[in-house]
Amino acid sequence: MKVALFVPCFVDQLQPQVGVDTVKVLRRIGCEVLYPEDQTCCGQPGFNTGQWDAARPCAERFVRVFRDFEWIVCPSGSCTSMVRTHYPELLKASRWNDDVVAVGKRVFELSQFLVKVANVTDVGAEFPHTVTYHASCHATRELGIYDEPIALLKNVAGLELREMPNENECCGFGGMFATKFGMVSAAMGDVKAGNVEATGAQYVTAVDPSCLMHLDGVLRFKNRTPKAIHIASILASRAEAR
């Protein structure tokens, strides 16, 4: 199965290991992973701030770059949702209108691709730690992703999954929301970090690198014990790698 890797900006610029681990997981289940080098930002920052004229060229470029691939996988629910959920509205008057819906149906967040497309719930990972799961907003509310990451985590050898209080409550990041309303964002992050700590887990994971970046910042600032880790890095982990 050939898969095109869609790397979001947060991964490209701040958390490149998440992209590397995504490739490891996909290759482990037998996928041939291709990286279209002409890809760039999905345009979500412009879209979310109402700057649609600025976001539209990014969306058109995405469709042009990825339209010939059968499967497109992204380690981010947020950016996947941008393509699948919001591109049709953004490009409805564009010459790419006929392609955008078809491309959107072939874009998957990593955990959803593994479970729904590749029919895999055990990727042979080993991670002997306690972990709690944060159900991020875009993945849960816009893409309906919840059972997939949980199923994958439950099949990781040595991993003990602990349920978090209010696990689907927003962490307070929200991209531009954190920029415009910094104090509110920090307060929401503090509540979320408290819920993470209440589980007693060593790690908090999610399918969205942006949420994890925010939570990691709050946890570090508060000198709290749990660490943030992307689900791709857990799934890529094996005993011999540590």
pLDDT of residue 152: 98
pLDDT of residue 242: 45
Q: Are residues 105 and 152 in the same domain?
A: no
* Last residue in a domain, options 117, 151, 171: 117
Which sign, positive or negative, has the C-alpha torsion 38, 174, 215, 211? negative
- Evaluate whether 166 touches 195 at the Cβ level (below 8 Å): yes
Question: Is residue 80 a part of any domain in this protein?
Answer: yes
Q: Are residues 135 and 109 in the same domain?
A: no
Task: Give the residue numbers spanning the domain of 38.
Answer: 2-117
Q: Are residues 176 and 214 in the same domain?
A: yes
Question: Is residue 179 a part of any domain in this protein?
Answer: yes
Q: Are residues 145 and 209 in the same domain?
A: yes
Strands (E), 87-242: 107-109, 130-133, 160-162, 203-206, 227-230
pLDDT of residue 132: 97
Q: Are residues 36 and 91 in the same domain?
A: yes
Q: Are residues 137 and 98 in the same domain?
A: no
Question: Is residue 124 a part of any domain in this protein?
Answer: no
Which sign, positive or negative, has the C-alpha torsion 79, 15, 133, 183? negative
Q: Are residues 112 and 138 in the same domain?
A: no
Q: How many domains does the chain have?
A: 2
Which sign, positive or negative, has the C-alpha torsion 212, 213, 217, 220? positive
* Last residue in a domain, options 86, 117, 148: 117
pLDDT of residue 239: 64
- Enumerate helices (H) and strands (E) in the chain, giving the number of each: 14, 8
Per-residue pLDDT of the chain (242 residues; tens, 9 = 90+): 999 999 999 999 999 999 999 999 999 999 999 999 999 999 999 999 999 999 999 999 999 999 999 999 999 999 999 999 999 999 998 888 889 999 999 999 999 999 999 999 999 999 999 999 999 999 999 999 999 999 999 999 999 999 999 988 999 888 788 888 889 999 999 999 999 999 999 999 999 999 999 999 999 998 889 999 999 999 999 865 44
pLDDT of residue 156: 98
- For residue 184, the domain's CATH number is 3.40.50
The total number of residues shown for the chain amounts to 242
Question: Is residue 122 a part of any domain in this protein?
Answer: no
Neighbours of 236 (CB within 10 A): 23
* Predicted model pTM: 0.94
Burial pattern 121-157, b for ≥16 Cβ within 10 A else e, equals bebebebeeebbbbbbbbbbebbebbebbbebbeebe
Q: What share of the chain is helix, strand, coil (3-state, %, to 5)?
A: 50, 10, 35
Q: Are residues 136 and 109 in the same domain?
A: no
